[in-house]
């Protein structure tokens, strides 16, 4: 790939400003090693690529697993819309099966797994596809696949969870789903991407329209510990607290102090897409009078991506947000876009520091150090928005464990209950049943009363949960739930 570089393009690259590092397809980014390029050259044969890859990876040490391993295994529960082609669309695309997959109004067990226990579920507020990892480390995917986002090597929709062949032999410890792309994270801190890549959101170093097989992201740096996807961009967090972004830079969502716009002709606008991960280097604090001070020593520990914004937390419990500022989703009490990560003044430690963050389509949720949940942005389709973080009173007193956000719905696992809310139209992702489909205020999901949910994730209009199934009593309760099979 890079060994056949034209000398002309090399000098051209040097003369360009640093902002357009990845403008030419054959120019590697500054922080990419030549070793990796050589590796790609060897593996261009294709046949032995997968085997070589596994042999190379065996020398990379695994990340230390947290206490209790990579996620607690349990029974998968699912509710919401299962006709993946129609989710978020007014009409199904031509040739799509319009009537396959019904709405599951209450949580169902998934019969197609044949009783396999699951330790990881992943989807995203813009996604109509999901990733699940079973106890025996099989990485299964299902849902919409029109851009190859399932990484299976084709673009056929899957209703039955199918194993990703490209990830056999890897232990998948994290995943994230964008609108039409997916990132998989392995236990060695290596990231694989698949799906739409027209904006560079798979991070493989080029902008092919689609990456239909899960492919290694073009990154060589400290091992990655978390991945996240917005609608059309991606974020990865390394073990040293560095955040790297790639994809579309619109609204400044990549945090590189640019929205990537440039004029091709006097009337035609285009974007400089980041085709490979690029580190976010500056974090700032802005005062009311517009005075900007850069902050140093920022080590990111957690982050979450909305459709077009990101909120992140650092090791000192400070919160930063950047990207599209509409409806107050950044929490700065103003609607301007932020091109670099900006400190959220309303969530400053020690009294109001944040410990976890969750982003929906146009809103953000932050769990502070006292266990209070705060919301900012617009969580419904119309009406008022919170311009700065406000506590959700209905959740006070609950011990909140896991949270998932979809387009307008929020599902929370707390104590031995599940609490959900979201405005209509919903498709059953809240799990309330057919009589009461939506709720504007947080409500307990009666069908899951007394069940302990260890993990939850929401797609565009579906929810996946992992339910603890250790005691006989819990197993009996799960048995009573309806079962869904494709």
What is residue 407's predicted lDDT score, i.e. its pLDDT?
Answer: 92
Q: Specify which residues 295 forms β-bridges with.
A: 283
Within-domain flag for 201? yes
Within-domain flag for 255? yes
Instruction: Report, as an integer, the average pLDDT of 425-451.
Output: 93
DSSP SS3 for 411: strand
Task: State the pLDDT confidence band at 56, using cuts at 50, 70 and 90.
Answer: confident
Give the domain CATH number at 296. 2.130.10.30
* CA pair distance 443, 433, nearest whole angstrom: 12
Kindly tell me if the per-residue pLDDT of 8 is higher than 90: no
Within-domain flag for 442? yes
Q: What percent of the chain has pLDDT over 90?
A: 77
Instruction: Report, as an integer, the average pLDDT of 212-238.
Output: 96
* CA pair distance 76, 158, nearest whole angstrom: 17
In this predicted model, what pLDDT tens digit does every residue of 250-265 receive, in sequence order? 999 999 999 999 999 9
Within-domain flag for 21? no
Q: Which is higher by pLDDT, 54 or 33?
A: 54
Within-domain flag for 123? yes
Q: How many helices (H) and strands (E) does the chain have?
A: 4, 33
What is residue 97's predicted lDDT score, i.e. its pLDDT?
Answer: 67
Q: Which is higher by pLDDT, 24 or 299?
A: 299
Task: State the pLDDT confidence band at 7, using cuts at 50, 70 and 90.
Answer: very low
Domain membership of residue 212 as a residue range: 61-89+99-484
Q: What percent of the chain has pLDDT over 70?
A: 88
Within-domain flag for 7? no
Bridge-based pairing of strands 482-484 and 103-110 is parallel
Q: Which is higher by pLDDT, 19 or 183?
A: 183
Instruction: Report, as an integer, the average pLDDT of 399-426.
Output: 94
Task: State the pLDDT confidence band at 95, using cuts at 50, 70 and 90.
Answer: confident
What DSSP string runs through 200-249?
STT-SSS--SEEEEEEE-S--SSPEEEEEE-SSEEEEEETTS-EEEEE--
58, with CB counted inside 10 A (0-12, 13-18, 19+), is exposed
Task: State the pLDDT confidence band at 2, using cuts at 50, 70 and 90.
Answer: very low
Q: Which is higher by pLDDT, 38 or 69?
A: 69
What is residue 17's predicted lDDT score, i.e. its pLDDT?
Answer: 40
* CA pair distance 39, 34, nearest whole angstrom: 9
Instruction: Report, as an integer, the average pLDDT of 19-41.
Output: 38
Within-domain flag for 316? yes
Query: Under a CB-based contact definition with an 8 Å cutoff, are residues 411 and 123 in contact?
Result: no
Kindly tell me if the per-residue pLDDT of 26 is higher than 80: no
> pTM here?
0.88
Query: Under a CB-based contact definition with an 8 Å cutoff, are residues 208 and 201 in contact?
Result: no
Instruction: Report, as an integer, the average pLDDT of 396-406.
Output: 95
In this predicted model, what pLDDT tens digit does every residue of 97-138 receive, in sequence order? 666 778 999 999 999 999 999 999 999 999 999 999 999 999
Looking at the structure of the chain, the number of domains it has is 1
Task: State the pLDDT confidence band at 288, using cuts at 50, 70 and 90.
Answer: confident
Task: State the pLDDT confidence band at 152, using cuts at 50, 70 and 90.
Answer: very high
- Could you report how far apart the first and last alpha carbons of the chain are, in Å? 43
* CA pair distance 458, 462, nearest whole angstrom: 6
What is residue 59's predicted lDDT score, i.e. its pLDDT?
Answer: 83
What is residue 66's predicted lDDT score, i.e. its pLDDT?
Answer: 86
- Average pLDDT of the chain, as a whole number: 88
Half-sphere exposure of residue 105: CA atoms within 13 angstroms, side-chain side: 8
* CA pair distance 9, 15, nearest whole angstrom: 10
Within-domain flag for 249? yes
């Amino acid at each position: 790939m890079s060994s056949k570089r034209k000398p002309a393009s090399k000098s051209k690259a040097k003369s360009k400003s640093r902002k357009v590092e990845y403008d030419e397809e054959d120019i590697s980014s500054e922080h990419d090693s030549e070793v990796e390029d050589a590796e790609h050259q060897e593996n261009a044969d294709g046949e032995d690529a997968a085997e070589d890859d596994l042999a190379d990876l065996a020398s990379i040490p695994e990340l230390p697993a947290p206490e209790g391993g990579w996620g607690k295994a349990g029974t998968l529960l699912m509710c919401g819309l299962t006709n993946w082609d129609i989710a978020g669309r007014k009409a199904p695309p031509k040739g799509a099966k319009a009537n396959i997959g019904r709405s599951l109004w209450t949580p169902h067990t998934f019969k197609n797994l044949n009783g396999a226990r699951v330790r990881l579920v992943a989807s995203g507020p813009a996604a109509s596809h999901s990733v699940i990892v079973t106890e025996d480390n099989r990485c299964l995917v299902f849902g919409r696949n029109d851009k190859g986002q399932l990484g299976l090597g084709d673009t056929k929709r899957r209703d039955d969870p199918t194993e990703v062949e490209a990830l056999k032999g890897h232990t998948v410890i994290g995943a994230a789903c964008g609108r039409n792309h997916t990132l998989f994270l392995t236990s060695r801190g290596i990231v694989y991407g698949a799906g739409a890549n027209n904006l560079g959101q798979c991070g493989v170093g080029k902008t092919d329209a689609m990456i239909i097989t899960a492919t290694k992201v073009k990154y060589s740096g400290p091992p990655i510990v978390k991945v996240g996807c917005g609608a059309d961009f991606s974020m990865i967090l390394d073990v040293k607290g560095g955040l790297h972004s790639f994809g579309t830079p619109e609204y400044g969502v990549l945090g590189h102090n640019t929205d990537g716009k440039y004029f091709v002709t006097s009337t035609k606008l285009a974007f400089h897409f980041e085709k490979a991960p690029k580190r976010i280097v500056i974090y700032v604090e802005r005062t009311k009078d517009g005075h900007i001070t850069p902050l140093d020593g920022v080590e990111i520990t957690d982050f979450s991506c909305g459709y077009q914004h990101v909120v992140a937390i650092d090791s000192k419990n400070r919160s930063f947000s950047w990207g599209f500022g509409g409806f107050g989703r950044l929490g700065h009490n103003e609607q301007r876009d932020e091109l670099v990560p900006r400190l959220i003044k309303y969530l400053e430690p020690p009294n109001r520091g944040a410990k976890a963050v969750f982003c929906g389509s146009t809103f953000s949720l932050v769990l502070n150090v006292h266990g209070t949940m705060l919301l900012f942005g617009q969580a419904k389709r119309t009406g008022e928005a919170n311009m700065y973080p406000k506590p959700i009173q209905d959740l006070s007193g609950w011990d909140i464990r896991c949270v998932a956000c979809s387009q307008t719905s929020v599902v929370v696992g707390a104590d031995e209950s599940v609490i959900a809310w979201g405005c209509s139209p919903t498709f059953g992702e809240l799990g309330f049943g057919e009589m009461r489909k939506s709720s504007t205020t947080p409500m307990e999901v009666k069908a899951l009363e007394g069940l302990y949910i260890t993990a939850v994730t929401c797609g565009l209009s579906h929810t996946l949960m992992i339910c603890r199934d250790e005691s006989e009593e819990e197993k009996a309760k799960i048995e009573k739930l309806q079962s869904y099979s494709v």
